[in-house]
Amino acid sequence: MQTRPSLLRVGIAGLGTVGGGVVRILQEQETLLAMRGGARLELVAVSARDRAKARGLLLDGIRWEEDATALASAPDIDVVVELIGGAEGIARAVVTQALQNGKHVVTANKALIAAHGAELAALAEAKGVGLAYEAAVAGGIPVIKTLREGLAANRYVRITAILNGTCNYILTTMEKTGRDFADVLAEAQAKGYAEADPSFDIDGVDTAHKLAIVAALAFQRAPNLDALHIEGIRSISKTDIHFARELGYRIKLLGITSQRDGEQVEQRVHPCMIPLSAPLATVDDAYNAVQIEGDAVGRLFLEGRGAGAGPTASAVVADLIDAARGHRMPPLMVPAASLPSLQPADISGLKGEYYLRLTVVDRPGVLADIAGICRDQGISVASLIQHAHAPEEPVDIVLTTHQTRESQMQQALREVALLATLMAPPQMIRIEAP
């Protein structure tokens, strides 16, 4: 039987938006948390880069450590909360040293878990301590607990998710306002929804980190970022969003994982067209959503805020309550030593439907050329759109396909790109029916 402490002494590394939120919850909900966890959560020490920065936090009587790694060895700290971020450097050092010193770790660091999750899980198990990371995926949505505990009786079939609020905000605003990507991105940066360097979000890397964790839990594999196919949303234009609506779809950046051909695990991040009737199509602005399909439970849908002080801090403190209860299980659901390497399912073998937009000079024979390329690649066209326009001017030709293989579609794209009448790179978006 696991030991329940009467007092859990906490050290926090990182006092940004989330760290500040954790401090406030610990202070404002002290009595409630003690009742629910069966032990008092006492904030003993904190560490951050700039001690002089105004944070609006009450830190009287709380020790300040200039070096965050000091939290990992302090004898008066039982659990270290790592909120620094990044797969390497100080964040990895703090977590590794804390586990080596027999301290529980709670983290919101998706990059760290995606890159080193199996190694850190093995260390936590060897030292008999907890490694919890609910806040690393989808903010306040309890995805990790749902997969690891609530649905543990299920064999997972497929997980489809919106995991980046910045991208969802940009795509939603483009649709609502009819504005282009660059304009909306600049507005998102001005409002603080997007970073000054937004590439981590808009190029799909943030979603990929989270999906790697989800796939590892769902299919009992070591996280493997190299196994992911990743595309972002930079190429999505207001024209694509308009045609998507005309065809009965919305465009979302999705993370998708499933098991294909026995041992292979599919992990892909890319923009998708999804039917307007799909639950994921209704998720707007900076919200996240996760759709889980299990063999016993069927389909579940979780939606909520995927970032921010309140939602993410809520997930961090939930993990602290588990530690106070003495609740501990293998961080990746099963012992790390039993986790095989993740065998990726190559995206070239994907079968699905596709949207293809070609900007061409409309001359006799253009459609015949496009149709011939599709025919030669065994691609069956499901629909075609070409709006009225002036002769000899650029026009968008949009077609959707029936089920075809990704490898055939990619070869068709290479051949289409050689057409003399093509005025811009071809745009391809996969169509999903989650």
Q: What is the mean pLDDT of residues 116-132?
A: 96
Q: Are 48 and 85 in contact (CB under 8 A)?
A: no
Residue 344 has a pLDDT of 82
Neighbours of 136 (CB within 10 A): 24
Neighbours of 364 (CB within 10 A): 6
Residue 213 has a pLDDT of 97
Q: How many residues does the chain have?
A: 434
Q: Are 83 and 14 in contact (CB under 8 A)?
A: yes
Which secondary structure element, helix H or strand E, spans residue 397, and what is its range?
strand 394-401
Query: What are the start and end residues of each CATH 3.30.70.260 domain in the chain?
Result: 348-431
CATH no., domain 7-140+312-338: 3.40.50.720
pLDDT above 90 for 393? no
Query: Shortest CA distance to 254 belongs to which of 412, 84, 431?
Result: 431
Query: What are the start and end residues of each CATH 3.30.360.10 domain in the chain?
Result: 144-305
pLDDT above 80 for 123? yes
In degrees, rounded to 5, the angle at the alpha carbon of residue 64 between the alpha carbons of residues 62 and 67 is 150
What distances in angstroms separate CA 110 from CA 174, 203, 216, 294, one per listed residue?
A: 28, 16, 13, 24
Share of the chain above pLDDT 90, in %: 78
Residue with tokens 């404002």: 28
- Is 252 part of the annotated catalytic residue set? no
Query: What are the start and end residues of each CATH 3.40.50.720 domain in the chain?
Result: 7-140+312-338
Q: Are 92 and 114 in contact (CB under 8 A)?
A: no
Query: Shortest CA distance to 355 belongs to which of 415, 283, 412?
Result: 412
**112-116, 249-253, 325-329, 385-389: which range is least confident on average?**
385-389
Q: What is the mean pLDDT of residues 159-170?
A: 96
d(CA 428, CA 434): 19
Residue 47 has a pLDDT of 94
Q: Are 106 and 79 in contact (CB under 8 A)?
A: yes
- Catalytic entry in 103, 110, 210, 252: 210
CATH no., domain 348-431: 3.30.70.260
Q: How confident is the model at residue 1 (pLDDT cuts 50, 70, 90)?
A: very low
Neighbours of 161 (CB within 10 A): 30
Which residues contact residue 167 at a Cβ distance below 8 angstroms, ignoring those fewer than 6 apart? 201, 202, 204, 207, 232, 233, 253
- pLDDT per residue as tens digits for the range 38-87: 999 999 999 998 877 877 788 888 999 999 999 999 999 999 999 999 99
Q: What is the mean pLDDT of the chain?
A: 92
CATH no., domain 144-305: 3.30.360.10
Q: Is 64 exposed, middle or buried (0-12, 13-18, 19+ CB in 10 A)?
A: exposed
Residue 277 has a pLDDT of 95
What distances in angstroms separate CA 433 from CA 57, 252, 366, 403, 407, one per listed residue?
A: 46, 12, 31, 12, 20
pLDDT above 90 for 169? yes
- pLDDT per residue as tens digits for the range 232-277: 999 999 999 999 999 999 999 999 999 877 778 999 999 999 999 9
Please compute Rg for the chain using Cα positions.
Answer: 24
Kind of pairing between the strands at 264-275 and 343-344: parallel
Judged by DSSP in three states, 413 sits in helix
Residue 3 has a pLDDT of 58
- pLDDT per residue as tens digits for the range 171-201: 999 999 999 999 999 998 888 778 888 999 9
- pLDDT per residue as tens digits for the range 274-302: 999 999 999 999 899 999 999 999 999 99
d(CA 210, CA 295): 23
What is the pTM (predicted TM-score) of this model?
A: 0.93
Q: What is the DSSP string of 15-80?
A: -SHHHHHHHHHHHHTHHHHHHHHSSEEEEEEEE-S-TTS------TT-EE-SSTHHHHH-TT-SEE
Residue 70 has a pLDDT of 96
Higher pLDDT: 130 or 260? It is: 130
